[in-house]
Amino acid sequence: MTLPACRCLATALLLLSAAPRVFADPPADATRSCAVKIPEQARWLGSQLFEQGAYQRAGECYQAAGDLDLANQAFIKALKPESAATERRLVEQRDQAKALLRKVARGLH
C-alpha cells in the first residue's frame, strides 16, 4: 500500500470513529404511548395535546383511542418540526466532519 493510500485510509477511519452516530429509529425505551388507556380519555387528551402543539403525543393518544384519522393528521403535523431539527443536526455534523478533515489534512502535511 502506498503512502497516500495509507493516509487516505487513516483519514477515513479517523473521521468514522469521530463522527457522531446517527440512528434512524429512537432506542426502544424512548418510544412513548398515551398516558391514558380508556378511549374517551385518550381522545380528550389527544385533543388537548394537539391544541398545545404536542402533535406527536397527540397522535399517540388518538391512536390509543382508535381514531386513526386524527392520529395520522397529528403525526403529519409532527413531521415538519422533526424534519427541520434533523436537517439542522445533519448540517452541524457535516460542518464538524469538514473541520475535522481540514485538521487531519493540515496534520499530514
Render pLDDT for 23-61 as a digit per residue (tens, 0 to 9).
333 333 334 689 888 999 999 999 999 999 999 999 999
Residue 37 located in a structural domain: yes
User: 97 lies in which domain range?
Assistant: 32-108
C-alpha cell at 14: 479517523
- Tell me the pTM: 0.50
Q: How confident is the model at residue 62 (pLDDT cuts 50, 70, 90)?
A: very high
User: What is the helix (H) or strand (E) element at residue 14, kind and residue range?
Assistant: helix 3-18
Residue 9 located in a structural domain: no
Please check the confidence at residue 82 and state whether its pLDDT lies above 70. Answer: yes
Residue 78 located in a structural domain: yes
Give the C-alpha distances (Å, rounded to integers) separating 52 from 44, 47, 48, 65, 98.
13, 9, 6, 18, 39
Residue 1 located in a structural domain: no
